[in-house]
Structure 1
Amino acid sequence: MINPVLSVSGLKTAFRTRGEWSEVVHGIDFSVGPRETVAVVGESGSGKSVTAMSIMQLHNPGLTRIEGSIKLDGRELLSLTDAQMNDVRGKQIGMIFQEPMTSLNPVMPIGEQIVEALLAHRALSRTAAKAEAIRQLDRVRIPDAARRFGEYAHQFSGGMRQRVMIAMALACGPKLLIADEPTTALDVTIQAQILELIKQLQAEENMSVLFITHDMGVVAEIADRTVVMRHGVVVEDRPTTEIFTTPEQPYTKALLSAVPKLGSMTGEPRPRRFAIADAKTGQLGEAAASVDTIDHAAPPVLEVNNLSTRFSIRSGMLGRVSGRVHAVENISFTLKRGETLSLVGESGCGKSTTGLSILQLVTPVAGSVKLEGEEIAGLNEDEMRAKRHRMQMIFQDPFASLNPRMTVGTAIAEPMLLHNMASASEAPSRVSALLERVGLSPSMATRYPHQLSGGQRQRICIARALAVEPSVIVADESVSALDVSVKAQVVNLLLELQESLRLSYLFISHDMAVVERVSHRVAVMYLGEIVEIGLRADIFANPQHPYTKKLLAAVPVADPAQRHRMRGLTNEDIRSPMRPADYAPPLRNYQEVADGHFVMAFEPV
């Protein structure tokens, strides 16, 4: 029998709060074999990251109690001194964290940070350590590594910062790599690059990987075996193929049922709700397709024509304009009542700025925006405030968009009172009705945002948007920060509300699998421009623009049979939309390849 690289047995982790111990991991067991990739999956609060931090012993020792056994190559880690454990970290176990900016020193060049790790764990001179650091940066596909050695973390994109973290984690040749949600904050194309890079480096180093995530598509892509956690216990530990084909536990079935699968909407003419399994029984819910919510005969509820938004870059003592960020460049589209148009693309492509420009929360430099036939571009602040109730926005982070000092009921009632849509005496009953409509108890009106889960907070934001009876809702990455099952529930809620209220959605997202589930039409954005727009079925079944094909190729496939595929993705980030002050955008030509399916003349992407 082959001995495991990592063996965890009876692991219990408790934290001391207000003088009392609270156990959050309850005696779990699992192992990681040589050259094996094991995924630990579950929703937020399941104990995944606590388990990883316990293995590395990175918790506050005075406020944390760890019991059980953690062995690395048969050596008990829990009995090591602090100095001995410091030697294990980095040298024998490397770790990649979710957010590289919290792990990288902002005032030290990234190359020097790798040199520091090499000098701590390997007998190298500073000159040799620098040469090795540059070699590691080359290995993780950072272009012009020797030059970028001296740059700082803020000068790198999110994907490149994560590559630096991988280089640092692997610099000393560890036996085990722990990757804690390393791709959650990344765009789909950058995520695909990082996953492929980890697979390639694992094969080169014969290294074991413990991969922590809540994304079941990523699990299928990378893991040999999967450990499913819930409420601090392991509910299932089996080969990944078996987890996906014959899940045994109801909770595992619930997780898998909520995974949006690219291609699952083939042949479906309209959006379809998720059939979510019950976490206690495993029983599947209903997956009814939406009725035809679009009012085809009526004029569009939203018309956007030649919209452009640019941000000036000033430099020098006089603050002269030296350049401009062309965030949104000459885009046009319409949105009918009851329709969902999705804007998709990577970070920096202009999706969110488009939404903010339509709501006049940032000021466009050109173009027309008509809401129900009325021109709203160019209205002053008071005029726009009077019309804004007809067009609401749901933001990505519900915690940041809710006032922490305001109760849920007050937050929902505020826009109704501001727009004189309810009196102070009517507001409480309206709030209760809205809470019930979004699937929450009216009693939650007295709670504060910090007392709610992420999914509940997002439902509150939806209720607040509905409070003023809008015609159009701009949903800006409104489900991207949610766990997979909560994401499915919120998507189902949005589709149910669209059906009952004939709402129009501008759905902004980089998650192509979710977009396929919710959309009637899709517009693909790149560097501030729409490069392809058409019916959802046309965009997904017959993509024409190279950038659209790139986005679709990068989506993790929730099929373990395709786990070892190498997609040959490029290592490039999206190009900068910054242009010289005198830059004149070229006129674009579009070809109609099918009814309503338009594609920009190809540009290198």
Structure 2
Amino acid sequence: MVVPVLSVAGLKTSFRNRGQWTSVVHGIDFTVGKRETVALVGESGSGKSVTAMSVMQLLDPKLTRIEGSIRLEGEELLGLTDQRMNAVRGKRIGMIFQEPMTSLNPVMPIGEQIAEAILAHKAISHAEARAEAIRQLDRVRIPDAAARYAEHAHQFSGGMRQRVMIAMALACGPKLLIADEPTTALDVTIQAQIIELIKSLQDEEDMSVLFITHDMGVVAEIADRTVVMRHGRLVEEGATVEIFAHPRQPYTKALLSAVPKLGSMAGEPRPRRFAIADPETGVLGEPAASLDTVDHEGPPVLEVNNLVTRFAIKSGLLGRVKGRVHAVENVSLSLKRGETLSIVGESGCGKSTTGLSILQLISPLSGSVRLDGEEVTGLSEEAMRARRKRMQMIFQDPFASLNPRMTVGAAIAEPMLLHAMARPAEVPDRVAALLERVGLSPAMANRYPHQLSGGQRQRICIARALAVEPSVIVADESVSALDVSIKAQVVNLLLELQESLRLSYLFISHDMAVVERVSHRVAVMYLGEIVEIGSRADIFSNPQHPYTRKLLAAVPVADPAQRNRRRAVGNEDVRSPVRPADYVPPPREYRQVSSGHLVMA
């Protein structure tokens, strides 16, 4: 009989809170075979990461109780002493965490951190460990590894930091790699690079992988088998091809129905809501037919011309300008009433800065922003505050944008009172109506942000933005951090609100599959400039700029039949927008491909 690399049987994990034991993982069983990739999937709170931490025994033993069996190549891990378990971690099991910046030591060179892991398990000299650390950095495709050995974590991009974590995890040649949401926080192109890297290293090392994620597109790309978890229980397990083709359980059907699939909007004239399956019954909902919300004949509600935003980089005692970040460079766009224009690109391309500059939350260097025909650049802070009620913003992290000491009802009421949109006596009814409009109970008005889930907090932020009856909403990565099913629900809510209120959205995102679902038009940004703009059909079916093609090629395809494909996604990071102080951008010309479809020449 072939012994699995990892065998988990009857795993129960409980946490102690105020003297009481609360079970969070309820007796799950699964195995990971030799050279096999098993995806452990489910939404936040399903117990995926707790399962991984239980396998690694990284949970506080004073507050945690782990029962059942965890076998690594037939050896029982539960009950091992700390010393023996330390010999297992790193050498026989490697682990990559979701957020590398919190996993890396900020004051220690990254090369030294990898060398430290090697020295912990191998009886070699420091010079040999240094040479091996550089070799590992080379293997994970970090350019000029020897020179970057002495650099610190803050000097690396998010994607390069994740590569460092992979190098550290694989430094001692483990038989099993546990990857806990290693691509969730990354741009689509960097995510594709990390997936390709793990695939290639797995082939080289004959390694098994336990890949933890809530992204079903990534699951289809990388997993041989899939284990679905919900509320700490195993819901369904099987070959990934079978799970995607013939899901048996309602919850699995609900997860798959919420996955945005690139290309699914081909031939659709306008945005379309998701048809989400009920997680209890598996019955697929029927979304209402999409309406044409765009006022094609009327003037633009928002016009942006030649917008430029730069940030000075100063040095020395006198604060001399030594360079500038060219965050937004000569950006022009317009937005009709009832239209969604999406701005897409990788982190650092200037998407969010464009949105903040349009709202005058960051002062642009030059350019024009007209709202309903009125120029808003250069207005005083007081005058701009009055105009801003017609332009609202939904931020990526709802928890950070809500006051933790204020009830959600007070947070929604605050802009109404600030702009005198309602008398104090009317506010409770208005708040209740807004909560119902975004699909929440009016009773939630008395709760605080920490008492709500991520999806509920994002709905609160949407309700707060609607409180002042805006005509334009800038949605800055407003669904990027949400689980797949919650993401689909929030997208459906935004589209329903657009139809009922004729809202215009500037939708900022790096998720191309979601952008295809919600957009009328799309603008692609790279290094602060729009390199291509056109209708959704133009951008997705006839991309002209190499960068647009690269973004589309990097999107995970939710089809396990294409799991073994290798994509030419490159190895480079996004180039820096920092320029010398005297840098003058070259004049740009655009070529018209078709009506409304422009590409930088």
Question: Shorter chain as normaliser: what TM range?
Answer: over 0.9
Alpha carbons 1:8, 1:70 under 8 Å: kept: yes
Q: Does 1:154 align with 2:144?
A: no
Aligned to 2:512: 512
CA RMSD of aligned residues (A): 0.6
2:535 counterpart letter in structure 1: L
* Offset, 1:388: 0.6
- The Cα of 1:287 is off from its aligned counterpart by 3.1
Deviation track 1:221-275 (CA, whole Å, cap 9, x = no partner) reads 0000000000000000100000000000000000000000000000001000000
- Name the structure 2 match of 1:579: 579
> SS in structure 1 opposite 2:425?
coil
Shift of 1:353: 0.2
CA distance in 2, matches of 1:289, 1:119: 62
Counterpart AA for 1:333: L
Tell me the TM-score normalized by structure 2: 1.00
Q: Name 1:419's counterpart in structure 2.
A: 419
Partner residue, 2:34: 34
CA distance in 2, matches of 1:493, 1:289: 14
Q: Which amino acid aligns with 2:397?
A: D
Distance (whole Å) between structure 1 residues aligned to residue 289 and residue 103 of structure 2: 44
Equivalent in the alignment of 2:245: 245
Matching residue of 2:296: 296
CA distance in 2, matches of 1:307, 1:252: 46
Aligned to 1:100: 100
SS of corresponding position for 2:550? helix
For 2:292, what is the secondary structure of its paired residue?
coil
Instruction: Look up the SS of the partner of 1:426 in the other structure.
Output: helix
Q: Does 1:224 align with 2:224?
A: yes
| 1:221 counterpart SS class | helix
What is the match of residue 285 of structure 1? 285
Superposed, 1:416-565 pairs within 5 Å as 416-565=416-565
Question: What's the counterpart of residue 141 of structure 2?
Answer: 141
* 1:18 positional shift: 1.2
Give the drift of 1:123: 2.1
1:227-376 paired onto structure 2 within 5 Å: 227-376=227-376
CA shift, 1:212, in A, is: 0.1
- How far off its partner does 1:488 sit? 0.1
Aligned partner letter, 1:280 = E
Report the residue type matching 1:219 in the other structure.
V
Task: Give, in angstroms, the shift of residue 195 of structure 1.
Answer: 0.2
- 1:288 shift after superposition: 3.5
Equivalence map 1:82-97=2 (5 Å): 82-97=82-97
* Per-residue deviation, 1:128: 1.2
Correspondence 1:406 to 2:406: yes
Residue identity matched to 2:396:
Q
**CA shift digits 1:507-558 (9 cap, x unpaired):** 0000000000000000000000000000001100000000000000000000
**Amino acid paired to 1:577:** P
Segments of 5+ residues of structure 1 without an aligned counterpart are none
Between the aligned partners of 1:83 and 1:271, the Cα distance in structure 2 is: 57
Looking at structure 1, the residues matched to 407 and 592 of structure 2 have their Cα atoms a distance apart, in angstroms, of: 50
**Deviation by residue 1:177-198 (Cα, 9 ceiling, x = unmatched):** 0000000010000000000000
> Could you tell which deviates more after superposition, 283-292 or 269-278?
283-292
SS at structure 2 position matched to 1:62: coil
Distance 1:366 1:408 in 2: 37
Counterpart code for 1:7? S
Mapped contact 1:93–1:176 kept (Cα < 8 A):
yes
Counterpart CA distance in 2 for 1:515 and 1:423 is 38
Aligned to 1:121: 121
Q: How does the TM-score come out when normalised to structure 1? A: 0.99
- Does the 8 A contact of 1:323 with 1:581 survive in 2? yes
Counterpart CA distance in 2 for 1:522 and 1:2 is 52
CA deviations over 1:139-163 (Å, ceiling 9, x no partner): 0000000111111111110000000
Tell me if the contact between 1:396 and 1:480 (Cα under 8 Å) persists in the aligned partners. yes
Instruction: Give the partner amino acid of 1:122.
Output: K
CA–CA distance in 2 between the matches of 1:569 and 1:519? 25
The one-letter amino acid of 2:93's match is: I
CA–CA distance in 2 between the matches of 1:465 and 1:4? Answer: 52
Task: Provide the rounded CA distance (Å) in 1 between the counterparts of 2:527 and 2:387.
Answer: 30
How big is the shift at 1:316? Answer: 1.1
Structure 2 Cα separation of the partners of residues 19 and 375 of structure 1: 62
Conserved in 2, the CA contact under 8 Å of 1:271 and 1:289? no
Mapped to 2, the partners of 1:76 and 1:370 lie a distance apart of 67
Post-superposition shift, 1:289?
Answer: 4.1
| Pairs within 5 Å for 1:378-397 | 378-397=378-397
Structure 1 position 570, deviation (Å): 1.0
Deviations 1:281-315 (A, max 9, x none): 00001134421000111100000000000000111
1:214 paired residue number: 214
Instruction: Please give the alpha-carbon distance, in whole angstroms, between the structure 1 residues aligned to 2:212 and 2:68.
Output: 20
- Tell me if the contact between 1:270 and 1:289 (Cα under 8 Å) persists in the aligned partners: no
